[in-house]
Amino acid sequence: MKIEEILAVKHLSVEFQTSDGKKQVVKDVSLSLRQGEVLALVGESGCGKTVLCRSILKLLPKSASVTGEAIQYKDQNLIGYNEKEMQQIRGQGIAMVFQDPQSTLNPTMTVGSQMEEAILLHEKALNQKKREKDFEKNKKKSAKERAIELMKLVGIKDAEQRYDLYPYHFSGGMRQRCVLAIALASNPKLLIADEPTTALDVTIQAEILKLLKKLQKELNLSILFITHDLGVVAQIADRVAVMQDGNIVELEEAKQLFTAPKHSYTKKLLHDHPYYMHRNESKLISESELHEKLVEISHLSYFYPLDRKRVFQAVKDVSFEIRRDEIFGLVGESGSGKSTVGKCLMGILNPEAETFSYDGINLLDKKAKKKNARRLQKERQMIFQDSTSSLNQKMKVEKILAEPLEIHKVFSDKKEQHDFLCEMMEEVELQEEQLHVWPPELSGGQRQRVAIARAFAMKPKLLIADEPIASLDVTTQAQMVKLFRYLQREHDCAILFIAHDLSMVRLLCDRVGVMKDGKLVEIGETEQVFEHPQHLYTKKLLEAIPIPEISGEEQGDEETMA
């Protein structure tokens, strides 16, 4: 018996009108998605994955031109639908989880009210058996109950208390879970998930993937899953489409693609995955080669005020040091306090501590901080988790990169500065022409590379990298690992690498600290922690790392579906 197709894209092309003329981003793409199937769409940043999926829901800007034979959803061809007709499809028929939760969520509304809004807009009645009057009377209460239920479903603890909090109260991973809950609120038939687990730590990522597989089976939900993580693909996908430069270069059953990839680009993606890269990598620096301490922290704590009377302790009595020429990894689940430690070290937050120093400067002493303010501002740089929010959307890339150089008067000659910026663009694998574009014209991965270039342009002594490569594809991640190593060695730079991707931490870091609920539960040399973890939580994190291989369980699922 043939499984019914819920989506069929036939000969779809998308081009954008730019200042340099027309640019084709999606080129004659055809693919189909069966009812109850997970189709993974993988490829490097900028290959056209997100544009393809946005074109299905007609969420592209006016500068985009979409042509093709059909975008067939069930028995409806969406290619000619207007905005009013598409509103009937979005949400109830096809829902989408976007890559950047910070931009998706409304900062002026509580997460609970945003979930309620989605429920009340897309569901005509929460209980079809009730009369309309009964529903109108109880809909707000029912919507709140459903919203809390969804929050719990996606792994948000203390959902009742967090229901009335705003997005800025949540970590990056928590915000992504809120976005997923909103998408599921309308009970869609097809879910388009654009990097939905990118911002999540490995344990929550595993839970979300398990949840999506559960929903797929129980609700017969079809999922078009966009990702660059082949480890995630191996866990969730029934079939895989590989995209390169706007073209689908390979479309195979997941088992076939992982065991016998045909296209050279697919082989390259697998080769660049950290799981395979680690086998041929040697350790960066031995313990004896490390220089003196650059950063010293002992008994550091930080409290976030919830209101006038209540506080939340995000960091609890944390102690560690960072040495010169060292890459120190800080890992843990979303909300564990990793980013808060980084912000304290940057001077964004003022913590309590017994010892808190940078290169001999006592960061607890206001006079010492003020005296060395210029030096601290230049020598400490930070790459934030969310590249969209950290880049000024009203400035072109060249101006974004040049701004810190001009503030610190690094170059007196404009041509010399421009040549330097061209070199930085080349180092992070961006084109010189992209200096003249706006951030919204770049993909998520390209925007993060601009943020990395801006930080390294200042030649910092301490770089705090908060999930700097989470939004990048595996090939670009491999390039960034090499770039981080090169710059760290060449410029005498120490790096605090905050991440939830343990595979990349193992590949890059000399030492690693593991955080849980604001506490540092384990610290040691990277290989020691990975090979012989001491804490139960560390063991749990390591067990949750996705591996780009089809396990026996997934193979069994595929055979059952076939």
Q: Tell the residue number behind the tokens 């560390």, with chain if given.
A: 538
Residue 118's pLDDT is what?
86
pLDDT above 90 as % of the chain: 46
Geometric angle at alpha carbon 188, from 6 and 163, rounded to 5°: 160
Q: Per-residue pLDDT tens for 283-292?
A: 444 444 445 8
* Per-residue model confidence as pLDDT tens digits over 397-455: 999 999 999 999 989 899 999 999 999 898 877 899 999 999 988 877 788 889 988 99
pLDDT of amino acid 155: 77
CB-CB contact of 234 with 546 (8 Å): yes
Q: What are phi and psi of 43, to 5 degrees?
A: 160, 170
Is the pLDDT reported for residue 554 higher than 70?
A: no
Using DSSP bridges, classify how beta strands 247-253 and 38-42 pair: parallel, antiparallel or unpaired: unpaired
Q: Is-contact 91 124, C-beta < 8 A?
A: no
Q: What is the pLDDT of residue 220?
A: 85
pLDDT tens figures, 317-364: 999 999 988 999 999 887 889 999 999 999 999 999 999 999 999 999
Domains in the chain: ranges and CATH: 1-93+189-271 (3.40.50.300), 104-185 (no CATH), 280-383+462-543 (3.40.50.300)
Q: Are 187 and 219 in contact (CB under 8 A)?
A: yes
d(CA 347, CA 380): 9
The token duo for 190 is: 């097809």
Distance CA 534, CA 523 (A): 10
In this prediction, residue 93 carries a pLDDT of: 86
Give me 86's structure tokens: 């598409």
Per-residue confidence (pLDDT) for residue 483, from 0 to 100: 75
Round to whole Å and give the CA distance between 512 and 329: 4
312 — alpha (psi -120 to 50), left (phi > 0) or beta?
Answer: beta
Lowest mean per-residue pLDDT among 22-26, 331-335, 517-521:
331-335
What pLDDT sits at residue 245?
92
Identity of the amino acid at 521: V
Burial 538-551 (b: 16+ CB within 10 A, else e): beebbebbbebebe
Percent of the chain residues past pLDDT 70, beyond the cut: 89
DSSP-derived pairing of the beta strands 190-194 and 222-227: parallel
- Residue 486: CB partners within 8 Å, gap ≥ 6? none
Residue 551 has pLDDT above 70, yes or no: no
C-beta of residue 326 within 8 angstroms of C-beta of residue 513: no
> What pLDDT band is residue 232 in, cutting at 50, 70 and 90?
confident
Question: Shortest CA distance to 405 belongs to which of 378, 375, 366?
Answer: 378
Q: What is the token pair recorded at 10?
A: 């036939």
Instruction: Please state, in angstroms and rounded to a whole number, the distance separating the CA atoms of residues 19 and 457.
Output: 28
Question: Residue 200, Cα to own-chain centre: how many angstroms?
Answer: 7
Give the total residue count for the chain. 562
Instruction: Provide long-range contacts, Cβ within 8 A and 24+ apart, for 252-256.
Output: 253/558, 254/40, 254/550, 254/554, 254/558, 255/550, 255/554, 255/555, 255/558
Helices 202-218 and 172-184 cross at an angle (nearest 10°) of 10
- Per DSSP, helices labelled H in 363-443 are 366-371, 373-379, 387-390, 397-407, 414-427
229 has a pLDDT exceeding 90 = no
Match 């654009």 to its residue by tokens.
Answer: 194
* CA–CA distance, 544 with 548 (Å, rounded to integer): 13
User: Which pLDDT does position 15 carry in this prediction?
Assistant: 93
Kindly give, in sequence order, each residue whose CB lies less than 8 Å from that of residue 33, ignoring residues fewer than 6 positions away. Answer: 5, 6, 7, 8, 39, 190, 222, 224
Q: Which residue has the higher pLDDT, 220 or 20?
A: 220
Say yes or no to pLDDT of 3 above 70.
Answer: no
* CB environment 14-26: b (16+ within 10 A), e (fewer): bbbeeeeeeeebb
The residue that leads in pLDDT, 556 or 103, is 103
pLDDT greater than 80 at residue 148: yes
DSSP notation for 145-164: HHHHHHHHHTT-TTHHHHTT
Asked if the model's pLDDT at residue 559 lies above 70, the reply is no
For range 379-401, the mean pLDDT: 89
CA-CA distance, 95 to 269, in Å (whole number)? Answer: 28
- Sign of the dihedral defined by the CA atoms of residues 427, 432, 436, 441, in that order: negative
For β-strands 327-332 and 494-499, DSSP reports them as parallel
* pLDDT score for 124: 53
Task: Extract the tokens encoding 267.
Answer: 């082989």
Q: Quick one: tokens of 505? A: 């931490």
The model's pLDDT over 238-275, given as tens digits with 9 standing for 90+, comes to 999 999 999 999 999 998 998 889 999 988 888 777 66
- Supply the pLDDT for residue 526: 92
pLDDT at position 557, please?
52
Q: State the pLDDT at residue 238.
A: 93
Note the pTM of the prediction, 2 decimals.
0.67
The pLDDT, as a whole number, for residue 170 is: 86
How far does the chain reach from its first CA to its final CA, in angstroms? Answer: 10
Round to whole Å and give the CA distance between 90 and 95: 6
Please indicate whether residue 149 or residue 127 has the higher confidence score (pLDDT).
Answer: 149
Question: Residue 137 above 60 pLDDT?
Answer: no
Give the pLDDT confidence score for residue 394 in this predicted structure: 92
Mean confidence (pLDDT) of the chain: 85
Top-confidence range, 80-94, 113-127, 184-198, 341-355: 341-355
Q: From the CB of residue 123, how many other CB atoms can be counted at a distance below 10 Å?
A: 20
Provide CB contacts within 8 A for 11, sequence distance 6+.
28, 29, 30, 68, 69
Residue type, 560: T
Here the tokens at position 165 are 């909090």
